[in-house]
Structure 1
Amino acid sequence: MENTPLVSQQSINSRYVNHLVFLFGIVYFAQGIAQSGGLISLPLNYYLKEVMQFNELGATHYLAVLAIPWVIKPVYGLVSDFISLFGYRRKSWLLVLNLFTCIGYFWLAEIADNDQLIMALLLTAIGTAAADVIIDALMVENGRKFNMTAQFQAVQWFWLCVAQIVTSILGGWLAEMADPGTGLRTAAIITMAAPAIIAILSWLIVKEEKTSMDVASLKATVAGLRETFRSRLLWTTILFLVLWNFSPGFGIPIYYFMTDTLNFSQSFIGHLGAISSVGSILGAWLYGKYLSNRSIDFQLVFSILTSAFSTFSYLGALTPTSYSSLLFITLSFFFGITSMIALLAILTLAARACPEKAEGFTFAVLMSIINGCAQLSAMTGSWMLVNWFAGYLAPLIILSGAATLFCLFLLPSFKVRKMVVVSERM
């Protein structure tokens, strides 16, 4: 009988962990639909190309402002770590921010003036990016508390990939079924449901004690922030993320190439995105099954080599042939596998680098570096394509793959292996 309270507490914790697994899965599925790279992505790219008459560089520059809310994610983390809303540090913010995103998509669905388009998109990006910070902070806090960080992240990214499959297929269909304006507005109306679902479920499921702006809690948060900037592991992680993500990207250029040169339909391009997401699901499974227990040194080297190989593989698909569609199906699937393995390895390292009481800020710093460098990579790639390579994709792809391989030579100088092994033993 003496063990009854302990058993009861374990049962309560187990139920709550199951509820969190459900919440993290649903939230990432909904965020996969709601973010600018989700359901609205293909209809938006098609609208920019056909209605606003942007070339690759113009479209990239026009959308660059949407990266700002993702780059300043540490600001949202600081606000959430320091300031409670309606007595809560996390759940109240999730409710308000997702309602904010709903408003942005409602505005987008009503817009008839192209000058207002980017403002509505920016509003949705702010709400989605800020809510993402809060849910990541919840993941880090509860992952550490219940020793479930890897499992929580696996669930999150599995359902994000499922969302990408849905949005790729549906987004391609919307872009092709109607005129570009109708497709964009329809995608915005459908997307509104996603943040609404996140707002409701997070309020109902998240268990959080009410907090106030007392001196003790502020001191604890400040101590966590101080520990953040003293962490050698964190600085090592930041340096690697910058190098890993800053390689000339070819996302929008390859989209224009598939549309104009290969004459792929918008629906087929959407299916390619879905195939890539299927590959990402397989990559997540392979990581959890075979790589998650290997050393971080092995994971990073494996990720660099396979990512570079998958990038170089696109060189074999640049000449239009009767097999072009099959080649792109294969490449999309393989690229999905390698990119997910690399992402999970880096995110697991990032989560371990977060000190207590500053989880929201620290993880947001790392994610903002990923997002900011990814956007700079996309802008750099499009600029190089237009100004250096006269529209030829091959030099851009070679440079991108070479930049990824360069990370191999920098691992020893940053002593990633040594620091991470020491951290794990502690």
Structure 2
Amino acid sequence: MLAMEVEQETRTSTSSRKKNRYFGGGGRLKCFGVDLSPDNVAVAMVYFVQGVLGLSRLAVSFYLKDDLHLDPAETAVISGFSALPWLVKPLYGFISDSIPLFGYRRRSYLVLSGLLGALSWSLMATFVDSKYSAAFCILLGSLSVAFSDVVVDSMVVERARGESQSMSGSLQSLCWGSSAFGGIVSSYFSGSLVDTYGVRFVFGVTALLPLITSAVAVLVKEQRLLGPARVQNVLLGNPSFLESSRESIIQLWNAVRQPNVFLPTVFIFLWQATPQSDSALFYFTTNKLGFTPEFLGRVKLVTSVASLVGVGLYNGFLKNVPLRKIFLATTIIGTALGMTQVFLVTGLNRQFGVSDEWFAIGDSLILTVLGQASFMPVLVLAAKLCPEGMEATLFATLMSISNGGSVIGGLIGAGLTQVFGVTKDKFDNLATLIILCNLSSLLPLPLLGLLPGDDSDTVSEGNVDIEMKSN
């Protein structure tokens, strides 16, 4: 996303006022050390909505499996397709910065994102009855979350700029905490509601949640831009606007192609692009082991808490460890622990007296903690690579590339699922698929040399402060 243009001479004079407005505030309620001003409440609520929208994830999985009768490979393809809006996040930032709606760059787009999300889930609750219409509506819902994520991330960048690392970290903690709280709230109910009322009911409830994003948009303090001049400039192809856009694209390209940015970006992409077997394992646990939606909701609750533990693990013990060592250690340990899923598939856990349910909970907990701890360095690395003056734009670009790697990994996993003949009721080669996907995680390790060396850990305060989250 693009950073908002602010006149140079006003930056210095307003920095102290901004600090008091967003972080200082006398007498106001605080959370994670952040003053709960209307602006910050709006930011926290948008992140909360992103977390609580997890209510629909299990419902979507069961709908694709049971109602549409799709195979694991088809489900994986739809999941990858739904992630496409996350690959062009810089475009949303550019639109938000350049084309104000009804005079606002932030408010109006938050309202629009919420309405789009409500529309998509309303359609899922009523009219959708094929895999193509389901994929389209899931894509719309993903676009809604991605666009609101870019808008609120830009607000966080504006508030973090010029603040100390401690203050910036406090704001990030508020964002992460809000999202995690939303995820925990929705986790258990995501399964029990599917069990009790069915997937259509869950889609209907989910349709109400994005409206919270639209509602809190009124809390955003933003000066209205008078007149439609900027929009007309865009629509009529004003030469000055086109020239400014071209210069922004050239500036972004020049930043990305620098070796110290391009090479680590290649590693991030390849690290994320290794194949996944999640869809096939979901079909096995539900169709073969008989895991119910309610039980999977409990597992999801455990993994939501485990995700917070992973963030705490990184923040408490790993944040000062060189990035190369973190990636090396977490990848090797994660590959080894990922192999424990083979125990569940082959039934080896039962020979040790551990039930499938308890093994699934323990396995998910450990893998989630490690996965979150290993993903945090990706965010930190992306923040370090951003040069001063275009932090938001380049960060969004790097996160889009990272998300692109995840999509590629999911599609490769779908292809391997098809090749190994794993279907909704045939799992003979599932153990082999899991082993192959886990071993492929080791493939990027020879490229660790592309990452900055240990002496690169000292970076400017402004760059370190741009630690943002990604889906």
Which of the numbers 170, 174, 179 marks the counterpart of 1:155? 174
Matches within 5 A, 1:133-282: 133-147=150-164, 148-178=167-197, 183-207=198-222, 210=225, 213=230, 218=244, 221=248, 225=252, 228-282=255-309
1:61 correspondence with 2:88: no
Distance 1:350 1:87, change over 3 A: farther
Q: Residue 206 and residue 190 in structure 1: after superposition, are their counterparts in 2 closer, same or farther (change >3 A)?
A: farther
Cα deviations across residues 67-122 of structure 1 (Å, max 9, x unaligned)?
Answer: 22122223212222433333443333222222222222222222154353333222
- 2:420–2:433 Cα contact (<8 Å) kept: no
Spell out, residue by residue over 1:226-271, the C-alpha distance to the aligned partner (whole angstroms, 9 max, x if none). 5533544432332122121111101111111111221111211121
Q: Classify 1:318/1:87 alpha carbon distance in 2 versus 1 (closer, same or farther; 3 Å).
A: same
- Give 1:395's aligned residue: 432
Q: Which has the higher helix share?
A: 1
Letter in 1 for 2:194: A
Q: In the superposition, relative to structure 1, how do residues 66 and 323 fare at CA in structure 2: closer, same or farther (>3 Å)? A: same
User: Is 1:119 the equivalent of 2:159?
Assistant: no
Aligned to 1:328: 360
Conservation of the 8 A alpha-carbon contact between 2:264 and 2:451: no
Q: Quick one: distance in 1 between partners of 2:219 and 2:440?
A: 45
- Structure 1 length-normalised TM: 0.85
The answer to whether the 8 Å contact 1:224/1:356 transfers is no
Amino acid at match of 1:417: G
Q: CA deviation at 1:141?
A: 3.2
SS of structure 1 residue aligned to 2:441 = helix
Residue in structure 1 matching 2:21, options 12, 27, 31: 12
Alignment of structure 1 residues 42-53 onto 2, 5 Å? 42-53=58-69
Q: Hey, what's the Cα distance between the residues in 2 that align with 1:380 and 1:165?
A: 30
Please say which of residues 370-379 and 250-259 is displaced more in the overlay. 370-379
SS at match of 1:40: helix
Measured at CA, do residues 7 and 408 of structure 1 come closer, stay the same or move farther in structure 2, by a change above 3 Å? closer
By how many angstroms is 1:329 displaced? 0.9
User: Could you tell me how far apart the structure 2 residues matched to 1:415 and 1:279 are?
Assistant: 28
Contact 1:158 1:284 in 2 (8 A): no
Q: Does 1:382 align with 2:414?
A: yes
**Is the CA contact (8 Å cut-off) linking 1:71 and 1:371 kept in structure 2?**
yes
Counterparts in 2 of 1:123 and 1:10: CA distance versus 1, 3 Å: closer
* CA shift for structure 1 position 423: 4.2
Amino acid across the alignment from 1:252: S
Contact 1:106 1:189 in 2 (8 A): yes
With over 3 angstroms needed to count, the CA separation of the structure-2 counterparts of 1:424 and 1:15, relative to structure 1, is closer
What RMSD, in angstroms, separates the aligned Cα atoms of the two structures?
3.1
Q: 1:28 aligns with which of 43, 47, 57?
A: 47
Residue pair 1:97, 1:127 contacting (<8 A) in 2 also: yes
1:417 maps to which of 426, 447, 453: 453
CA distance in structure 2 between the aligned counterparts of 1:78 and 1:419, rounded to whole angstroms = 34
Using the aligned pairs only, state the percent identity. Answer: 26
Partner of 2:443: 406
2:140 is matched by which residue type in structure 1?
Answer: L
What is the distance in 2 between the residues matched to 1:8 and 1:76?
Answer: 29
Give the letter for the 2:211 counterpart.
A
Q: Residue 12 and residue 48 in structure 1: after superposition, are their counterparts in 2 closer, same or farther (change >3 A)?
A: closer
Question: How far is the alpha carbon of 1:358 from its aligned partner?
Answer: 4.0
CA distance in structure 1 between the aligned counterparts of 2:455 and 2:215, rounded to whole angstroms: 41
Give the match's secondary structure for 2:209.
Answer: helix
The AA in structure 2 aligned to 1:57 is A
Partner-residue secondary structure (3-state), 2:340: helix
* 2: CA distance, partners of 1:367 / 1:45: 25
Residue 203 of structure 1: how far off its partner (Å): 3.5
Deviation at 1:56, TM superposition (A): 0.6
Gaps of at least 5 residues in structure 2 are: 1-13, 26-33, 234-239, 464-471
- Compute the displacement of 1:142 (Å): 2.4
Contact 1:354 1:363 in 2 (8 A): yes
The answer (yes or no) to whether the contact 1:110–1:185 under 8 Å persists in 2 is yes
Note the C-alpha offset of 1:210: 4.7
For 1:133 and 1:227, the matched residues in 2 are separated by 22
Deviation at 1:222, TM superposition (A): 5.8
- SS for the counterpart of 1:192 is helix
Q: In structure 2, do the counterparts of structure 1 residues 197 and 394 end up closer, same or farther at CA, with 3 Å as the change threshold?
A: same
Q: Give, as a single letter, the amino acid of the residue that structure 1 aligns with 2:358.
A: L
Are 1:73 and 2:89 matched, yes or no?
A: yes
Per mean C-alpha deviation after superposition, the further-off stretch among 235-244 and 112-121 is 112-121
Q: Which sits farther off after the overlay, 47-56 or 357-366?
A: 357-366
TM normalised by structure 2 equals 0.78
Question: How many residues were matched structurally?
Answer: 414
Q: Quick one: structure 1 residues 161 and 302, their matched pair in 2 at CA, closer, same or farther if it must change by over 3 Å?
A: farther
Cα deviation per residue 1:166-220 (whole Å; 9 max; x = unaligned)? 3331121122224xxxx22222222223222122324313556859749699488
Which stretch shifts more, 12-21 or 383-392?
12-21
Q: Tell me by how many angstroms 1:389 deviates.
A: 6.0
Q: Secondary structure at the match of 2:176?
A: helix
Q: Which moved more, 1:151-160 or 1:257-266?
A: 151-160
Aligned-pair CA distance for 1:363: 2.5
